[in-house]
Structure 1
Amino acid sequence: KENGVTRSIQSNQHPIKKGVPQGSVLGPVLFILLTNDFPDYIKDYSSVVMYADDTTLLLKEDTPEDVSISAYIALHMTYDYCSVNNLAANPSKTKQINFGRRGDQIPNLPDIESVDQSNLLGLVLDSNLTWSPHINALCKKLSSALYVIKRVKCISNIQAAKMAYFALFETYLRYGVVVWGGTSTTNLNRVLTIQKSAIRSLANLRELPGRIQKSQN
């Protein structure tokens, strides 16, 4: 049974006949227990990566035709699993992304959108694994965080600015770096340039002209 609380008003308890309540502490745990057997159920056709209610099917075959067949079977097995367990699959949020040199030869799954890049747990994967789309998104976040750091420093003190750096800047910088850190030097330099600006701001160092900055690095 579960009850809800809005401000100081508490509802009566009601039985949960299917699914799990959203926004509760116990909900994610119950969902994981409910879907714990799914990877084993589909293992003959696909590997599975699961995080809470986010599920990713990974397929590897020798030919594009074999990938297409396994993907079709795995997808319909997933739909059947959801139906049996009273879970609602959402095809509109399901994307197909093909990796490899012959990825363009893999047919699209029925009613599933094929994309060149996709978000997965805060990372932007592209079909060529260049990580350029992820770096684009990361640089936007870091630039916004840099603006906040400078504003905090102006209206407060250096300690508050450092707290803002570690909370708003470095958290984004470190997230998933073991995955996207192998991207090109050009992409890494874009991130490094923004980080240098943040450090200069914290250390009260002025921005150097491009030529001088390049010669001193």
Structure 2
Amino acid sequence: MGDCIVNSTCYQFANDTCLVIGDRNPQTALDLLQSDLNALAKWCHDAGLVINTSKTKLLVIKSPYVKRLPIKDLVAHAHSCLHAGSTAACSCPGIETVDRQTYLGLVIDSKFLWSDHIERVCIKLRQFMANITILNNRIPFKFS
């Protein structure tokens, strides 16, 4: 899979794949990412795999000082669309652009701030501490 991806850096863990690309011009980065996504879709089809487009997300990380970026849609082209040679008039679904995404338990947001991840960890710790408190009241410490 890594050989078909030329412009992006590919991170994989189990059945999760993450493509990361950076450029000063967001449009250039998206064009290169679209090219890699097309190559990945072809490779997956030829290998008998299917990309779950409903779980595929686009997260654009930008400076908190940049208010808005003009971003065109990233499209998850189907096999028939890619092998036909023209993707201009296809009806393939677009990939959803999100402000935050959880990847391998880490919450990453579009401004690369850690507040969402810290809040998630704090919620988990509060739940854990509540369970410990419940167990502390039910299990005796003195064993006879």
Q: What TM bracket, shorter-length normalisation? A: 0.7 to 0.9
Question: Structure 1: which 5+ runs fail to align?
Answer: 1-37, 159-217
**Larger-gyration structure (1/2):** 1
Deviations 1:104-148 (A, max 9, x none): 333231210000000101111101111111122111111111100
Structure-2-length-normalised TM-score: 0.77
Q: Which has the larger helix fraction?
A: 1
Runs of 4+ in structure 1 over 6 Å off: none
Kindly report which structure 2 residues correspond to 1:106-117, keeping only aligned pairs within 5 A, or say none: 106-110=71-75, 111-117=94-100
Q: CA deviation at 1:156?
A: 1.3
* Aligned: 1:80 with 2:42: yes
Would you say 1:63 and 2:63 are equivalent positions? no
Secondary structure of the structure 2 residue equivalent to 1:91: coil
Task: Please give the alpha-carbon distance, in whole angstroms, between the structure 2 residues aligned to 1:74 and 1:157.
Answer: 59
Counterparts of 1:99 and 1:56 in 2: how far apart (Å)?
14
1:132 maps to which residue?
A: 115
CA distance in 2, matches of 1:96, 1:80: 19
Normalised by the size of structure 1, how large is the TM-score? 0.52
- What is the one-letter code of the residue matched to 2:4? Y
Segments of 5+ residues of structure 2 without an aligned counterpart are 76-93
For 2:39, the aligned partner's letter is: M
2:60 alignment counterpart: 98
Counterpart for residue 149 of structure 1? 132
Q: RMSD across aligned C-alpha pairs, in angstroms?
A: 1.8
Q: Which amino acid aligns with 1:154?
A: N
Task: Report percent identity of matched pairs.
Answer: 30
Name the SS of the counterpart of 1:40 in structure 2: coil
Q: How many residues align?
A: 121
- Render the CA deviation track for 1:189-212: whole Å, top value 9, x for unaligned: xxxxxxxxxxxxxxxxxxxxxxxx
- CA–CA distance in structure 1, aligned partners of residues 4 and 38 of structure 2: 12
Could you list the per-position Cα deviations for residues 153-209 of structure 1 after superposition, in whole angstroms to 9, with x for gaps in the alignment?
111156xxxxxxxxxxxxxxxxxxxxxxxxxxxxxxxxxxxxxxxxxxxxxxxxxxx
